[in-house]
Amino acid sequence: MRTVGGLLALALAAAAVSGCGQSAYTKSDRYEEGLVVCLSGAGGMMGETDRLREGLNAGHVYRAIEAFEWSRGGVLEDQTDIDANRRKAAELAGRVETYQRSYPGRPVHLIGVSAGTGLVVWALESLGPESQVTGAILISSSLDTKYDLSKALAKVTDHLYSFNSVADTVLSLGVTFAGTVDRGGGLAGGLVGFSPPDSAGNDAKALYKEKLIEISWWPGDMVLGHLGDHLGATNPAYIREKIAPLVLGKEPEPTGENKAPTDAVKKDQPRTAAYAKVVEERRKEEEAKRQAEPEKAADAKPAADAATVAPAKEPPAKESPTKDTQPQSRRKGGGRFIEWNVGRRPAEGQASAPARAPVDESQFFADPRSLP
């Protein structure tokens, strides 16, 4: 009995600690900083929202981070019951509007995984005429690649980011078999990306171009625990490095030396005043370096020219100089040139070339054409 009682006490303590950990994400002071709402995939049984919240918090997102419970417990039911999903999405939209009435002007982000991305998009579509959120993030979306995102895009002031992976077998096999969460029947957007429907007008296409940013998995992401699989982008390390910065309006650090995995936040479009200041300081430093390089090169050029360029020699005078004015180094053998046919005296023991009549130095300088 003591053993059973001890185990029960440990279980209750663990549950209490877990509850405290979860409530830490929704402390009242965090709501003053903003709101992030996380949605799981179909079934809600893989711990996606827990990992999202852990990674965001580790990435210094000290805002209220809620988990919106929408799953009915069955993967296939969650994936296919579009009417129930849209009702839940309307509830999510109401939660966002309630928060915004209580905390006007604070940033709001919605993050969904797999089928949960459908509810994120439908919640955006359900917001009232005066309501918008700061941004939304779709991870491994099971929405159809041709689903019309224009209404949702119009409801974000920043961007809608979609994290995709062609290595996602759940999307390529499972969703292809079960159908997309919007019941469109095509390929999932989280597999191959989103594009405007064929019937989209110019305004809709402009929204796609302006506000939709797609971030594709690449092998370098494996160092952050994202193997390209369906839930790889929910790894807390990946969330911390790649998704938390987007929520904070910063540019994620490159994963590898040769490639930044995302251009999600362009340097000329900072998201916050603090980050804008950093960008401007960086720009000024780079400009100062570019201006300094030509000046350094100009200063170094005269010294380099003096060290490497020898003064030009004056051409030999056309007049015939006298023997007394010729350098002694040019004389050999009593004022005679070395045998001209070889340009040097033969080494000892070496056969000499046929002898030629020696030429006086004065003849060479007077008339070089007279050489044999």
Going from N- to C-terminal start, the domains of the chain cover 17-263, 266-294, 318-338+358-372
- The answer, yes or no, to whether residue 82 has pLDDT greater than 50, is yes
Q: Write out pLDDT tens, residues 198-209.
A: 999 999 999 999
Q: Which of 238, 118, 129 is nearest to 188 (CA)?
A: 118
pLDDT at position 44, please? 92
Please state, in angstroms and rounded to a whole number, the distance separating the CA atoms of residues 191 and 172.
7
Q: Which fold has domain 17-263?
A: Rossmann fold (3.40.50)
> Does residue 136 or residue 15 have the better pLDDT?
136
Sorted by sequence, the CB contacts under 8 Å of residue 93 that are 6+ apart come out as 123, 124, 126, 127, 131
Mean pLDDT over residues 315-322, rounded? 52
Please state, in angstroms and rounded to a whole number, the distance separating the CA atoms of residues 56 and 248.
10
> Does residue 28 or residue 21 have the better pLDDT?
28
Please state, in angstroms and rounded to a whole number, the distance separating the CA atoms of residues 63 and 68.
15
Alpha helix ranges (H) inside the chain: 2-23, 28-31, 48-58, 75-80, 82-102, 116-126, 150-153, 169, 176-178, 189-192, 202-211, 236-238, 244-248, 273-308, 361-366
Return the structure tokens found at 26: 């929704």
Length of the chain: 372
Neighbours of 279 (CB within 10 A): 17
Mean pLDDT over residues 327-348, rounded? 47
Q: Write out pLDDT tens, residues 204-249.
A: 999 999 999 999 999 999 999 999 999 999 999 999 999 999 999 9
Mean pLDDT over residues 141-155, rounded? 97
Please state, in angstroms and rounded to a whole number, the distance separating the CA atoms of residues 189 and 173.
14
> Does residue 297 or residue 42 have the better pLDDT?
42
- The answer, yes or no, to whether residue 38 has pLDDT greater than 70, is yes
> pTM of the prediction?
0.65
Spatial contact of 193 and 145, defined as CB atoms under 8 Å apart: yes
